[in-house]
Amino acid sequence: MKSGIIAAHLDRSVRPQDDLFRHTNGAWLDTVSIPADRGRYGTFDVLREQSDERVRALVEEAERDTGAEAGSPRRKVGDLYRAFMDTERVESLGRTPIDADLAEIAAVGDVEGLMRTMGRLQREGLPGLLGYYVAPDAADPESYVLWVVQSGLGMPDESYYREERHAEVRAKYLPHIARMLHLGGLGDGESGEGSLAARVLALETALASHHWDNVTSRDAVKGYNPRTRAELEEAAPGLPWAAYLEGLDAEAAFERVVVRHPDFLPGISELLTSVPLADWQAWLAFHLISDAAPLLSQEFVDAQFDFDGRVISGLPENRERWKRGVGLVEGCIGEAVGQLYAERHFPPEAKERMRVLVDNLVEAFRRSFAHLPWMGPETRAQALDKLEAFRPKVGYPDVWRDYSVLEIDDDLVGSARRAAVFEHERQLGKLGGPIDRDEWMMLPQTVNAYYSPLMNEIVFPAGILQPPFFDMDADDAANYGGIGAVIGHEIGHGFDDQGSRFDARGALRDWWTEEDRARFDELTQRLIAQFGELSPSQVPDQRVNGALTVGENIGDLGGLAIGYAAYRIATEAAGMPELDGYTGPQRFYLGWAQVWMGAARPEEAARLLAIDPHSPQEIRANAVRNCDGFHEAFATAEGDGMWLSPEERVRIF
């Protein structure tokens, strides 16, 4: 049995007691060169590249198979990819695919016309002033409801419009707006005071002032605001709802919605009445051009990448065209590709091995709940009920999405628009129907996992079930430190500061006692303070936002504690062998640290600190300093770099 630890990545000159991340990944860090088309690079990216290559092979096979049955998933995959890769046709069309839309925006005569056009474009995939999605109702999780969210910005989030640390990005955003408008035939490319570009930026800055920040947006209770159509109109009387919903073709869907960011509605209402119509037209045109740019000729692609890639993430080069083509196909008809992927790359025995892992993780949680000092008997009983009710999904869906009514042809922009309309109608079509427990929110080829509090389920696509997360031929230690801790992390989201607001059915309900919630909150505050003192090596002058990342940090610590407990359950009979000079417990923690192998460009590291609810990779790896098991496994002592005194360690699960 192999150990599962990547020996070639180890830096034995660094003691694990001083820096587990560096000890586990140092040799890789010393030699890695971040690819020119990436802002950060690590384990997830290596696996995504492998997944992309596999998907590319499948997509190119479909592209060559011109004899595939018309209308079949395989034919649609091949036709869409072929249309994207036909650069000669794309270049010859230039801006033509969006000229009619630009003319419609220019012809708008009032706010009603603006919102009708915005709704129509949003139905076809363009982001609008408001975002929306269909999910179970947190008050009645057996019914679907439309959730409405804030939107309308061209930079990553509202902090980019106000914080000094983003001043340089803001300064480069203004000429970018001017450039995109000029490519669309609007404006003269100038970005000085009073220019069309300056007015668009001023409008977005005003929109951003009404956005909730990322920390506030995490709050599940604050974000549950059911509203009737009449209440929407009362909250935003300046927004012509009838015209907007006519364009969106979603009148019935908005009879009752849940508004995630209620403060945004009066804000946009006021702006729609106070900002000149011409500014709104320029803003909508800019977003149309930006959204369509990746599907247009090279001058549009380059202009969009110069800002989104180079300025925002520090990327020297755009991704190769085939990678962007694969991304487009996955975004439009992803499950058609996923079905081909699952058939070829996910063996049935992997699913069975994962079932055993999940069972041990659930048992470890069950045992943990019995002894948590902050959890009283009343909360414990309901926590066990929730644990009993949760559902794991592994590998790929049991029921595949049906794309038979979606038309894909050599019209690239048209096919992408029709795919957006298909998804819009599929989503709204769920309203009024039963909850689809078989639906997946990730594709099988995705290198990630998630927990859904509204469905009380964990989902592990086939893409992440590969080494170093999961290796069919490796010893249990690395697998439990890798995918086991990730499973524990995802289950733990059901009991973190926000997931714990939802009960076993997925209903938003406070099922904890006040005393237990107070004790839990005291622990989370300690965690917020602890992580708020940490900085990633790429931007040492910026600190982690402990309040933004607290949910994921709880998940990491829970995953570590429960993963380690599950490893001990799995080895109760056979024991823990020593392999490659490391004990079983030591390899568990090395297995955890190696899945967070990664490096980032300073620009991307700064962007992620602003918007990502996850801590930087090196900090996630070294979160083990809170684990008694880590200190026991490596016999740490005061003065070691990883040392954290027992009274400072935070244990939640």
The secondary structure of 222-241, three-state, reads CCCCEEEHHHHHHHCCCCCH
Query: What is the pLDDT confidence band of residue 428, given thresholds at 50, 70 and 90?
Result: very high
Q: Tell me, what's the pLDDT at 67?
A: 86
Please give the Cα distance from 295 to 312 (Å, whole number): 20
The arithmetic mean of pLDDT across residues 443-457, rounded, is 95
- 371 and 275 housed in the same domain: no
Q: Which of 515, 524, 516 is nearest to 497 (CA)?
A: 524
- 363 and 225 housed in the same domain: no
Please give the Cα distance from 411 to 79 (Å, whole number): 10
Domain final position from 226, 251, 284: 284
- 258 and 350 housed in the same domain: no
The arithmetic mean of pLDDT across residues 164-180, rounded, is 96
Domain final position from 229, 252, 284: 284
Please give the Cα distance from 540 to 538 (Å, whole number): 6
pLDDT beyond 90 at 392: yes
Q: Which one is predicted more confidently, 570 or 192?
A: 570
pLDDT beyond 90 at 80: yes
pLDDT beyond 90 at 226: yes
Pairing type for strands 457-461 and 140-150 reads: unpaired
* CATH number, domain containing residue 240: 1.10.1380.10
- 383 and 236 housed in the same domain: no
Please give the Cα distance from 651 to 187 (Å, whole number): 58
Query: What is the pLDDT confidence band of residue 349, given thresholds at 50, 70 and 90?
Result: confident
- 600 and 477 housed in the same domain: yes
Query: What is the pLDDT confidence band of residue 352, given thresholds at 50, 70 and 90?
Result: confident
- 242 and 366 housed in the same domain: no
pLDDT beyond 90 at 348: no
Strand partners, 133: 147
pLDDT beyond 90 at 350: no
Decide if 305 is inside a domain: no
- 441 and 514 housed in the same domain: yes
Query: What is the pLDDT confidence band of residue 574, given thresholds at 50, 70 and 90?
Result: confident
Q: What is the pTM of this model?
A: 0.91
The arithmetic mean of pLDDT across residues 151-180, rounded, is 96
Q: Which domain holds residue 232?
A: 111-284
Query: What is the pLDDT confidence band of residue 68, given thresholds at 50, 70 and 90?
Result: confident
- 277 and 334 housed in the same domain: no
Q: What are the φ and ψ backbone dihedral angles of 390, each rounded to 5 degrees?
A: -70, 155
Decide if 324 is inside a domain: no
Decide if 291 is inside a domain: no
Query: What is the pLDDT confidence band of residue 167, given thresholds at 50, 70 and 90?
Result: very high
Q: Are 113 and 443 in contact (CB under 8 A)?
A: no
pLDDT beyond 90 at 66: no
CA 635 to chain centre: 37
pLDDT beyond 90 at 234: yes
Q: Tell me, what's the pLDDT at 110?
A: 98
Decide if 84 is inside a domain: no
Q: Tell me, what's the pLDDT at 474?
A: 93
Q: Are 308 and 603 in contact (CB under 8 A)?
A: no
The arithmetic mean of pLDDT across residues 19-37, rounded, is 97
- Sign of the alpha-carbon torsion through 107, 113, 114, 120: negative
The tens digit of pLDDT for each residue in 258-295 reads: 999 999 999 999 999 999 999 999 999 999 999 999 99
Indicate left, alpha or beta for 219 from its phi (over 0: left) and psi (-120 to 50: alpha): beta
- 471 and 612 housed in the same domain: yes
Q: Tell me, what's the pLDDT at 351?
A: 84
Q: Which of 80, 77, 59 is nearest to 416 (CA)?
A: 80
- 346 and 245 housed in the same domain: no
User: Percent of the chain scored above 70 by pLDDT?
Assistant: 100
- 365 and 478 housed in the same domain: yes
Decide if 622 is inside a domain: yes
Decide if 64 is inside a domain: no
Please give the Cα distance from 244 to 112 (Å, whole number): 7
pLDDT beyond 90 at 337: yes
Domain final position from 252, 284, 316: 284
pLDDT beyond 90 at 166: yes
The tens digit of pLDDT for each residue in 488-547 reads: 999 999 999 899 999 999 999 999 999 999 999 999 999 999 999 999 999 999 999 999
Helix (H, G, I), strand (E, B) or coil at 356: helix
The tens digit of pLDDT for each residue in 583-632 reads: 999 999 999 999 999 999 999 999 999 999 999 999 999 999 999 999 99
How is 382-396 classified by DSSP, letter by letter? Answer: HHHHHHHH-EEEEES
- 257 and 353 housed in the same domain: no
The tens digit of pLDDT for each residue in 453-500 reads: 999 999 999 999 999 999 989 999 999 999 999 999 999 999 998 999
Domain count, the chain: 2
Decide if 8 is inside a domain: no
Q: Which of 30, 40, 17, 23 is nearest to 591 (CA)?
A: 23
* CATH number, domain containing residue 372: 3.40.390.10
Decide if 94 is inside a domain: no
